[in-house]
Structure 1
Amino acid sequence: MRYFFFISILFLSLISTAQTTKNKGSITAKVIDSQTRVPIEMAIVSIYKAEENKPFNGVTTDQKGHFTFNNLSEGTYRIGIEFISYKVFFIEKVTINTSSNNLNFGEVLLVPIANELSGVTVTSKAASVQSKIDKLVYNPVNDLSSQGGVATDILKNVPMVSVDIDGKVELQGSPNVRFLINGKPSSIFGASVSDALQSIPASQIKNIEVITSPGAKYDAAGTGGIINIILKENKVQGINSSVNLSLGTRLENGSFNLNAKKGNFGSGIYFGGNKQLNTITRNSSDRTSYNPTRDTISSLHQNGKNPFTRSSYQTGLNLNWSITEKDELSATLGFNHFENNSTGTTLQNQQSYLTDGSLLSILNSERKSAGSFKNDATDWSISYKKTFDKKDQELNVLVTSSSGKSINNSSQETIIQEDNSVSGNRNYNPGKNHELNLSVDFTYPLAEGFTFETGAKSTFENIESQVVSDTLSNGNVYINDLGQSYNFIYKRNIYAVYFSSSYTLFNGFLEGQAGLRYEKTNTTADFAGVNIPDYDTFAPSFVMQHKISDSQSIKFSYTFRIERPDFEDLNPFFNISDPHNISTGNPFLKTEKGNRYELGYSKNFDNNANFYFSGYYRYNTEDIQNLTTFYNEFGVGKTTYTDVTLTRRYNIGSETTYGASLFGSLPVNKKGTIKGTFDFGERTNSTPGFASVNSFIYRANLNLSYKFSPDMMGEIVGNYRSTQKSIQGERPASFFYNIAFRKQFLNKNASVGITMANPFNNYLNQRSSSYGDSFYQVNNKDIPVQSFGISLSYKFGKLDFKKGESENHEGPLQPEI
């Protein structure tokens, strides 16, 4: 059925090539530098009605310098074009009528302003959320609560995205999110997504793109969608730099950027690092379990503390060379390091008794554990872009490489208090992964309102993991356990080709994109008993949008997605840092499949208020879920553990989710702004052998900001995430709130900020539960959440193109970008 619908959309898009606009007109042009002939991106283009001084609409030029105004009524207009360090240019007396309704002015030359660049600061007003036909873009420029923070702090404020206390991210209720950096994959997400996100300073992030229904150009992976983190880069002529530093009771952070661009060559370097200071989590758990005949009951009580630290740093270099007006070469190189260290002491009490209450045994013990994880990732890319005389015709070639090395160390020793006997183990788990991507994309405009795009991509992934496990002998000597020591090699090659089109239908009434992606996956695993057959994936997608007016639109989309298991899911390493709660990966995992439908609506108001709605339906099969099983005795190698729950990932059943996301922003008294996000949905898990589980989940975010003066702002943010039921238990709710202030000075080139996270609560209590046929367990965590911090920022250089804080409403319209 979905293929029939997809073919129908393509057929309608072909019909559009024969249509002409009768009642509405359009104006288009390409803005370039008069000296270098290089296209100017982000130039502000405003359109005025004749004899009026206030623009009624505005856009910005795209990466190729193009802009277009559509659906223009008959009449006379004038166009104003401006960009920092260039003279303002006007196109006067532009007339739309029945005989001349689609006007193309070709190349418009902007003339640089000579010798007037020192210390220039240009600002433009920016909306925090912009809805595009294929994505939602979040601009964190005025997120005071994330100043001095990390990527996770920004994601907490992004519509449709939720983050739990452990840093795990969900997109409209789905944890299967594909993360990209500047549109490219990175190996830093392969080892631990939450650690990777907490290694990226918030000061390095330009914006966040949320792509819930990715088109055919994107990889098919990620049933939840894609989150693309766009880092800051240089876009304007001159030299500019910034330094950010923050000190706090729980987190220290710093970053440095230096960018330079002259003529057709630009470069930039950056360095950033952060450290989460020592925090102590208090935890306890109570478990009741039964033997197979259910005539004996066992209880396990654990109570302990776990100090934890995390640190990271990253650095990188980017280069851009516009070889000619139509040829551009770019290269990037980046390195990212993060690590965490933890220790813990846990008191344990085990009891066994009959169903009549008769005590059979009692055992008291103390477990001391330690763990560390380190990951180094190196990413590089080379891209070439070729444009042609024909508008919108483009060729892109991209090569990316991402390599990661990780080391996971863990150990634990348990002392039985009754006889002072000691047992223990230690594990050394080094691993490395490498991903190479080769892609070619070609775009060709077939006719007015119809563009064809095709491309091919090859991805080569290689994952290697080694496990060396030692067991503590009766003589208190560690002896290698061959049963727990092994090598794991996993290789996956993906070959893809796609076709897509962008189209306009019915005189501009509808616009959209439709495409089909084919991927062939070849997988090999050097692990006993693992044989994974090749498989083919056909992933259709489409999106249709109707612009009700210049300020509001409605869209409908469909996409087919898959979720391939990653390194953390596949690694068969047994984590025995707690011998009573063991976890491991599953190299036998298959690909999860998902279908997603979405209906979206966005509206911008004259007072700069805006509203966004997204309703969705998602159905996944071969659903990848955690499954916990209780064992009275469980053997790993030569060691047998008692009273054990083993958690492993499986393909089990299906998941159906439907819900909605709402975002709104409302200015108050020209100085205040209220922003709010509300996500809710109903999720049903159907798993063979288990009762179906229905869970209503929701998340709310409220942001209140106030501008005390042109250079001082304050903000209060609250974020609530509801409890969630799973097939075997319940995940806890969470609530965070932040208070922040920022004072700017030195002509807004410097600022000082104060951030308070949960200032009236030292800890957040997290209560979760899990159960199975023969056990029931309750876990409690007291996680430290209170922190206070101060952040400093300074920017300098010839140019500072800053978006976000202009109070100028008299000049050309400042578009929402």
Structure 2
Amino acid sequence: MKFILTLLIVFTTFSIKAQNNSLVQNRGKINGRVVDSISRVPIAYAGVTLYQDGNDNPVNVAASDQKGNFSISNLADGNYRMVVEFLSYKKRIIDHIVIGKSTNLSLGNILLASIQTLLESVTITGKVPVIENKIDKLVYNAANDLTSQSGVATDVLKKVPQITVDIDGNVELQGSSGIRFLINGKPSSIFGSSITDALQSIPASQIKTIEVITSPGAKYDAAGTGGIINIILKNNNIQGINGAVNLSAGTRLENGSVNLNVKHGNLGLSTFFNGNSKPNTTTINSINRRSVFSDTINDLTQRGNSDVRRKGFSTGFSFDWTINKKNSLTGSVGYDFFKNANTSLTNQQIKVQKSSALITDDYSLLNSVNHSKENSLDLSLEYKKTFQKEGQELGIQITSGIGRDDLFYEQQQSDINTLVPFSGSNSKNPGKDNETEIVVDYTYPVNENLTIETGAKTIINTIESNVFMFDLNNATKEYTPNLSQSNKLDYTRNVYAYYLSGTFKLFNFLDIKSGLRYERTTANANYSQVGKIQLKPYNTFAPSFVLSHSFKNKQTLKLSYTYRIERPDYEDLNPFLDLSDPRNASTGNPDLKPEIGNNFELGFNKAYQKGTNLTIAAFYRHNGHDIKSFSTFYPSLTVGDSIYQNVTLSTRLNIGEEIQKGISISGSIPFSNKVTMRTNMFFTNQTIINKYTGGPNVNGFGYRLNLNGSYQIKQNWAAELFGNYNSSQKSIQGKRPAFFSYNLAVRKQFLNK
């Protein structure tokens, strides 16, 4: 039926144009693009009908193409109204269209809102699915998922196929933590110091979609052995003035956001403000650690509690200017701020036995305070030019991120009976993380079956870290500078990249996207205590390909390969020694080498009638120079001119190799026009080959299961329930615990959208 209707529309358009062929010159023209109001996905085959004011007979009709674009030309002077409609979407009427001589009017994006239409007891619902599979990525439409409207970005990621989030908020993609995070397709300095903290500062209500790219093509940076997660924030291109306010409150998190958009003709302006706060939360901590050296046994027992508080906000401004039909300019300014505070009180016991004889049995009280805050300013300017040939495009983009962070800790150990401090220290660690990117991309469609993409990129990254260390003087009970532990790091890294890729059909059977990316990395570091270190530059050749075949019965099979690299980031490199707990210290490692990944994936997608769909992806990943956190116990650790007893020091190391083999299964089943169930299952077997110490190696199985059920109560009422279970998972030196979470949401829509 849709095919016949499209033929009729196209035939009618052709007939009208043929009758007016002699009047082509000096006639008006209208063009636009029809998209879904929520997901901004193009709507193909939408009907576009044009009427002259005061006349119910159509002047012209058209149908949108696969990209949602349409064009109506040869229009006489006058006033018109346009009707845009498509099955299961609310009809859109655009009035007061004025056409004069040689008018070339662009209406930009025309947004259609999905509706539920009742036809003789049959309900037809037209909306974008929550999960979409494309040739090179998976798209999770968070705006269409009711239980994804509260919480923060970390809560949304728990629902995305192939992504796991542990109980501490650490994110993995297909079992790998080497992920390149983007916001609206661009890097952000908010991720510089702590990805976990940054994700917890983004309200879920601000997220439109999350793109998961497990096999990035040559156009993308080679960084990220696990792949790329692109968080797309909400934006609005409706003509006129519109806005939105979101508020949520709870015992563990409070969120709020305000958006305001102004669109007039070819210029759009947007501004936003959002914030969240985690009220004071008390957690109970316990550690039991035994270390054995020859005939000596060291036991550490810690029992205590911590009060944790977190708050942050983001604000920004953006513009979108369509200069003319072939040229556009967009820009944005964003500012992010968040801070954490942690106060803990811990009872600790240290017992040392030698040849079964008790040498030491000491009890003490540890009082520690940690503060961290980070702010970042992100600037972006992008110019895009299209050409006469459809699909030919040139893009130039400049982005700059300016990040500032400030870490502070103070700790004192006291006699448990007298509460008099016998040792203590504090440290301040201000830092800077600045990054500028210049990108040029060019797309040229050679013919219907071959498209060439090429481009170049320069990344300039500078990191500065200052450590100011102070020790408690037992005699004066005052803090004095510790110059041997104070340090300064200046680190510069530049990346120069070029890529070439092609998309084409082979034997009219396979859709192929392949390419090669070249990157040259130069870096140098300067330490105040050591001096300048010239790091050896290195070259990276990163090939990639995707082979895809679509069957007639809505089945798709694809095979992909990509070569990835994981460069150490600020958190990995920062030599700041965190001694807020003198028994459990941590530091970065400026000598880290980049991690190398080779990733293979075989995926299958099947769409059934009535909306059911199934996606299965099997993968194999091999990482060399694998970067892991590694802990070493020291009975006595000398740092500068200070000596610490019974310390476990954690740092980042190139531990060896890691192999991940697994499968991801996700699907959706509409049991009726009111009830829909979605599931997402992930199973993986992990092998870590420990080359750093020569063993032992680690082999373990892990899985994640979640289930989401939605129920349309009435026309404006909906409810959803979400549950998630993560199994325990072995690590290089231990095991992460299993955990379960659930979420229930009810929504009532007011007024008309």
Pairing 1:574–2:577 present: yes
1:311-335 per-position Cα deviation (integer Å, ceiling 9, x unaligned): 0100011101111100001001100
Where structure 1 has 5 or more consecutive residues not aligned to the other structure, the ranges are 1-24, 49-57, 67-78, 89-108, 748-799, 801-817
Mapped to 2, the partners of 1:200 and 1:393 lie a distance apart of 35
Alignment CA distance shift 1:342-1:373 (3 Å): same
* Residue matched to 1:592: 595
Q: Is the 8 A contact 1:44 1:83 kept in 2?
A: no
Q: Is the 8 A contact 1:234 1:267 kept in 2?
A: no
Q: Is the 8 A contact 1:151 1:202 kept in 2?
A: yes
Mapped to 2, the partners of 1:579 and 1:700 lie a distance apart of 38
* Residue matched to 2:321: 321
Q: Is the 8 A contact 1:86 1:111 kept in 2?
A: no
Which one of 248, 251, 259 corresponds to residue 250 of structure 2? 248
Structural mapping, 1:348-427, within 5 Å: 348-356=348-356, 358-417=357-416, 420-427=420-427
SS of equivalent residue, structure 2 residue 589: coil
- Deviation, 1:733, is 1.2
* Residue matched to 1:729: 734
Q: Is the 8 A contact 2:31 2:107 kept in 1?
A: no
| 2:737 maps to amino acid | P
Q: Is the 8 A contact 1:658 1:681 kept in 2?
A: yes
Q: Is the 8 A contact 1:86 1:112 kept in 2?
A: no
Q: Is the 8 A contact 2:42 2:68 kept in 1?
A: no
Structural mapping, 1:448-597, within 5 Å: 448-475=448-475, 476-507=477-508, 509-527=509-527, 528=530, 530-549=533-552, 551-597=554-600
Structural mapping, 1:805-816, within 5 Å: none
Q: Is the 8 A contact 2:352 2:358 kept in 1?
A: yes
Q: Is the 8 A contact 1:393 1:443 kept in 2?
A: yes
SS of equivalent residue, structure 1 residue 203: helix
* Residue matched to 1:786: none
* Residue matched to 1:282: 284
1:67-87 per-position Cα deviation (integer Å, ceiling 9, x unaligned): xxxxxxxxxxxx979996457
1:567-619 per-position Cα deviation (integer Å, ceiling 9, x unaligned): 00000111101000111000000010010011111111121111111111101
* Residue matched to 2:441: 441
Pairing 1:154–2:152 present: no
- Deviation, 1:111, is 9.7
Q: Is the 8 A contact 1:610 1:666 kept in 2?
A: yes
- Deviation, 1:704, is 1.3
Pairing 1:257–2:259 present: yes
Alignment CA distance shift 1:284-1:501 (3 Å): same
- Deviation, 1:65, is 6.6
Q: Is the 8 A contact 1:308 1:343 kept in 2?
A: yes
1:1-41 per-position Cα deviation (integer Å, ceiling 9, x unaligned): xxxxxxxxxxxxxxxxxxxxxxxx9x9999xxx76645555
Alignment CA distance shift 1:121-1:512 (3 Å): closer
1:362-396 per-position Cα deviation (integer Å, ceiling 9, x unaligned): 21100100011100010010000000001111000
Q: Is the 8 A contact 2:315 2:335 kept in 1?
A: yes
Mapped to 2, the partners of 1:428 and 1:652 lie a distance apart of 30
Mapped to 1, the partners of 2:439 and 2:189 lie a distance apart of 18
Mapped to 2, the partners of 1:429 and 1:447 lie a distance apart of 56
Mapped to 1, the partners of 2:737 and 2:64 lie a distance apart of 44
Mapped to 2, the partners of 1:417 and 1:315 lie a distance apart of 47
1:666-705 per-position Cα deviation (integer Å, ceiling 9, x unaligned): 0112111110000011111111210221111111111111
Q: Is the 8 A contact 2:33 2:64 kept in 1?
A: no
- Deviation, 1:62, is 3.5
* Residue matched to 2:24: none
Q: Is the 8 A contact 1:428 1:468 kept in 2?
A: yes
Pairing 1:601–2:600 present: no
SS of equivalent residue, structure 1 residue 276: strand
Mapped to 2, the partners of 1:28 and 1:646 lie a distance apart of 71
| 1:598 maps to amino acid | E
- Larger mean CA deviation between 453-462 and 247-256 belongs to 247-256
Alignment CA distance shift 1:47-1:146 (3 Å): closer
Q: Is the 8 A contact 1:570 1:587 kept in 2?
A: yes
1:193-239 per-position Cα deviation (integer Å, ceiling 9, x unaligned): 01111111111111000000000000000000000000111233222
- Larger mean CA deviation between 122-131 and 589-598 belongs to 122-131
* Residue matched to 2:123: none
* Residue matched to 1:190: 192
Alignment CA distance shift 1:295-1:323 (3 Å): same
Alignment CA distance shift 1:337-1:564 (3 Å): same
- Deviation, 1:418, is 5.9
Mapped to 2, the partners of 1:230 and 1:163 lie a distance apart of 19
Structural mapping, 1:137-148, within 5 Å: 137-148=139-150
* Residue matched to 1:332: 332
1:710-731 per-position Cα deviation (integer Å, ceiling 9, x unaligned): 1111121111111111221111
| 1:403 maps to amino acid | I
* Residue matched to 2:213: 211
Alignment CA distance shift 1:492-1:651 (3 Å): same
Alignment CA distance shift 1:610-1:122 (3 Å): closer
- Larger mean CA deviation between 241-250 and 523-532 belongs to 523-532
| 1:240 maps to amino acid | N
- Deviation, 1:184, is 0.3
Alignment CA distance shift 1:711-1:554 (3 Å): same
| 1:345 maps to amino acid | L
Which one of 104, 117, 135 corresponds to residue 137 of structure 2? 135
Mapped to 1, the partners of 2:698 and 2:478 lie a distance apart of 48
| 1:707 maps to amino acid | Q
Which one of 681, 684, 687 corresponds to residue 690 of structure 2? 687
Mapped to 1, the partners of 2:107 and 2:148 lie a distance apart of 36
Q: Is the 8 A contact 1:634 1:640 kept in 2?
A: yes
1:754-805 per-position Cα deviation (integer Å, ceiling 9, x unaligned): xxxxxxxxxxxxxxxxxxxxxxxxxxxxxxxxxxxxxxxxxxxxxx5xxxxx
Alignment CA distance shift 1:62-1:194 (3 Å): farther
Q: Is the 8 A contact 1:87 1:112 kept in 2?
A: no
| 1:591 maps to amino acid | P
SS of equivalent residue, structure 1 residue 562: strand
Mapped to 2, the partners of 1:323 and 1:603 lie a distance apart of 42
Q: Is the 8 A contact 1:36 1:264 kept in 2?
A: no
TM-score normalised to the size of structure 1? 0.79
Which one of 670, 673, 683 corresponds to residue 673 of structure 2? 670
- Larger mean CA deviation between 536-545 and 414-423 belongs to 414-423
Mapped to 2, the partners of 1:513 and 1:208 lie a distance apart of 22
Q: Is the 8 A contact 2:725 2:738 kept in 1?
A: yes
| 1:506 maps to amino acid | F
What do you get for the CA RMSD once the two structures are aligned?
Answer: 2.7
- Deviation, 1:426, is 0.3
| 2:391 maps to amino acid | D
1:134-164 per-position Cα deviation (integer Å, ceiling 9, x unaligned): 0000011243333231111111111111111
Pairing 1:738–2:751 present: no
SS of equivalent residue, structure 1 residue 215: coil
